[in-house]
Amino acid sequence: MNRRAGSATISGLIAVIAFSLLGMAPATSSPIVTPAVVGGHDAPAGSWPSIVAIGEVGLSAHRGAFCGGTLIDSRWVVTAAHCVYDFGARDLKVFVGRTSLRSREGEQARVQRIEIARWNRRNDRNDIALLKLRGPVSAPPMALVTDANDYRADNPAQIAGWGATTPRGRGYPDHLKEGTVLIEKFRACNRIYDWDLRKNKQVCAGFDDGVSVVDTCTGDSGGPLTVTDGFGVRRLAGITSFGGQRCGEEPGVYTRTLGYNAWISRTIASS
């Protein structure tokens, strides 16, 4: 997760976390790329069949995984652009449906192609990328959010990842962590980040009730922010992008997938 530090602070965030990759640095400086979920708990085996760990070819998941992602088609994974921008497709592989990075559960797949939206490295707008796999995997893909009401303030959302579990970005678990957070009021969150966010492209979420905090953290980048729709279907609402200087101090910022549904459909169709 990238990290920035906003000039304002906010209190009273309410939610529960799942996976982490976030942080922040002064709004005038470039975000620093950082890699579980702070305040989360161990995810039950098989509870996130569509989540993927992205790693480097030649390394095990335990040693080489550095970002998360979500399977949205049998051959396509969506993740954060800042995770894969400096890699070639042949350098990457994904571990699908794995709960423990040390286990052999799930599937592995090499990456055939990387498609990146117009990512802005300075402010992390358009922080989204698609990875086309060399072949299909059998894990179930996750549906995308199609209703803007799923982003209403205080709507509970879930996060997950293998990122750091302490506010300072330390303590990387082998076991997938998950947590519950709340969708933040956009205007209040945008103020924290010096009015640098775009409502149709980014969404904020976090949890802080004064006693416990839930947030994504270093290493959770690219992983999922999900909501459950009115029919009980879990849908991908966001992609872990960046957050505060210390995990949990500010709401996490996620790429708002609804703003990219057309780009995703177009990219997959033209492949």
**Cβ burial, residue 154 (10 Å; 0-12/13-18/19+):** exposed
In the set 20, 82, 100, 208, the catalytic residue is 82
124 is catalytic: no
In the set 127, 208, 215, 220, the catalytic residue is 127
Q: Give me the residue label for tokens 């060399």.
A: 134
In the set 20, 50, 100, 221, the catalytic residue is 221
SS3 category, 27:
coil
Strands annotated E in the chain = 2-5, 24-26, 37-38, 41-42, 51-56, 65-73, 76-79, 92-96, 107-116, 129-133, 143-144, 156-161, 177-183, 202-208, 213-216, 224-228, 234-243, 252-256
127 is catalytic: yes
Task: Give dist(CA 159, CA 51) in Å, integer.
Answer: 11
41 is catalytic: no
Find out whether 207 and 181 touch, Cβ atoms under 8 Å.
yes
First to last CA, the chain: 28
Task: Give dist(CA 97, CA 141) in Å, integer.
Answer: 10
Q: Closest by alpha carbon to 163, among 238, 242, 110, 235? A: 242
Task: Give dist(CA 32, CA 43) in Å, integer.
Answer: 28
- Annotated catalytic residues are 82, 127, 221
